[in-house]
Structure 1
Amino acid sequence: MNDPAQIDPVVKLTLLTRSFEQGGVKIDVLRGVNLTVAPGEIVALLGPSGSGKSTLLQAVGLLEGGFGGKIEIAGTEASALNGDDRTVLRRDRIGFVYQFHHLLPDFNAIENVMLPQLVAGKDREDAAVRATALLEALGLGQRLDHRPSQLSGGEQQRVAVARALANRPALVLADEPTGNLDEATADKVLGQFLELVRGTGSAALVATHNERLAKSMDRVVRLHEGVLQ
């Protein structure tokens, strides 16, 4: 049996920095962030609007450059990869859920969840089976052939959750995933999201400013003045 201490963390950030220039003034958004997320761990990233939560998730998600420090995803140092290899790592190991669902409007629910699997080279029939299972687990078994415009906001966001988990990622990044929903719907969607993430064994880093929702996760870290507390 493997020693848990020898298992690579899903995320390891070392002295992560990010600065922007605005009106000729340098703004340090991230000032040396250190963070480790273990396999299967769900971590809430708390902080007010403008604190840099989205910037931190963009770094972990390998969505843009310009960061200083070291980013390791599932044992791979991202800074050592070329653009194509970073794309493959992001595609195969990371799932994303945003505040706004970003579903493709011309595709129905099952097709939206199948798409990332097809891009990754999965057989179409297998992709449909996986998509159906995820959507049914989220209570959308009767909505598989509905397009986003035919779904409620909560249903759209649940499809986005299923899409994020379609390729069985090691890590799910969620940026205010229920911020666009009313409180009752947000609670329901978040509960289903956490249950499904735990069921798949993925780790998750969830950015939110909602203290109440953060308490339902395994650990809470706070971004304050560019560093984690």
Structure 2
Amino acid sequence: MNELVPEDPVVRLSGLKRSFEQGGVRIDVLRGIDLAIAPGEIVALLGPSGSGKSTMLQAVGLLEGGFEGKIEIAGIDATALSGDDRTVLRRDYLGFVYQFHHLLSDFSAVENVILPQLVAGKTAANAHERASELLASLGLAKRLDHRPSQLSGGEQQRVAVARALANRPRLVLADEPTGNLDEATADRVFEEFLKLVRNEGSSALVATHNERLALRMDRVLRLHEGVLS
């Protein structure tokens, strides 16, 4: 695993572009994005629906091809890697939180947080300890054995946050992480998300259309017509 020195960015994007063909018309979604996120920095990515926020997160998360430009994660040029190596990089360096929690319905809260750790090679005992600690820090100590259907929307999203942080990622990518919750619950969950990310020492790139939530982060970027400002 690469060791970053303080001035090295966790992620660096250089000239990132993404275009689609629709009805014979070329649509430029990203028009040459340059971005560097420092270790421990939490960055808001603001923009209305359809502005390309999710597309940009998919690029940084190494979830989709078809991009032009360079993506570096922890100093590693992801664009030069094979598919298998990109999968390993994604597993070891990145965590993901989505608008919808995508928890495994047949598994308990603690099992949902244990599973990605087992995939990464941790022992069952260590994975259980880590999962229990993360869930407890999010106020779910008494809900470890509950399945998603037995949890409220806010509790489900807390489990998703714990799962994203389970393998101590360098960078957490969050796409409208509280967009499916009512305002009061969204505020509580987002505050807990920020606290946990900071306590873990991770960086985060958070796509949102919520100006109020964006102002709680270290830096606010706006994506408009494929360009960051």
Shift of 1:76: 0.3
Partner of 1:188: 188
Residue 228 in structure 1 maps to residue 223 in structure 2: no
Return closer, same or farther for 1:3/1:207 CA change in 2, 3 Å cut-off.
closer
3-state SS of paired residue (2:196): helix
3-state SS of paired residue (2:139): coil
Partner of 1:32: 32
Return closer, same or farther for 1:227/1:110 CA change in 2, 3 Å cut-off.
same
Spell out the pairing of 1:84-163 with structure 2 (5 A cutoff).
84-163=84-163
Partner of 2:62: 62
3-state SS of paired residue (2:216): coil
Q: In 2, distance between residues paired with 1:124 and 1:3?
A: 32
Q: In 2, distance between residues paired with 1:3 and 1:30?
A: 30
Which amino acid counterpart does residue 96 of structure 1 have in structure 2?
A: F
Normalising by structure 1, report the TM-score: 0.98
Spell out the pairing of 1:195-214 with structure 2 (5 A cutoff).
195-214=195-214
Which amino acid counterpart does residue 203 of structure 1 have in structure 2?
A: S
Q: In 1, distance between residues paired with 2:165 and 2:110?
A: 13
Partner of 2:167: 167
Q: In 2, distance between residues paired with 1:4 and 1:87?
A: 26
Spell out the pairing of 1:5-84 with structure 2 (5 A cutoff).
5=7, 8-84=8-84
- Unmatched segments (≥5 aa) in structure 2: none
Q: In 1, distance between residues paired with 2:37 and 2:116?
A: 24
CA contact (8 A) 2:48 2:209 kept: yes
- Unmatched segments (≥5 aa) in structure 1: none
Q: In 2, distance between residues paired with 1:4 and 1:94?
A: 18
Q: In 1, distance between residues paired with 2:180 and 2:79?
A: 33
Which amino acid counterpart does residue 43 of structure 1 have in structure 2?
A: V
Shift of 1:3: 6.7
Return closer, same or farther for 1:143/1:205 CA change in 2, 3 Å cut-off.
same
Normalising by structure 2, report the TM-score: 0.98
Q: In 1, distance between residues paired with 2:5 and 2:182?
A: 43
CA contact (8 A) 2:6 2:39 kept: no
Shift of 1:105: 0.2
3-state SS of paired residue (1:198): helix
Return closer, same or farther for 1:29/1:3 CA change in 2, 3 Å cut-off.
closer
Which amino acid counterpart does residue 66 of structure 2 have in structure 1?
A: G
Q: In 2, distance between residues paired with 1:90 and 1:166?
A: 13
CA RMSD, 1 decimal: 0.9
* CA offset digits 1:185-216 (Å, max 9, x no partner): 00000000000000000000000000000000
3-state SS of paired residue (1:127): helix
After the TM superposition, which segments of 4 or more aligned residues of structure 1 sit over 3 Å from their partners?
2-5
Shift of 1:52: 0.1
CA contact (8 A) 2:15 2:69 kept: yes
Shift of 1:223: 0.3
Shift of 1:4: 3.5
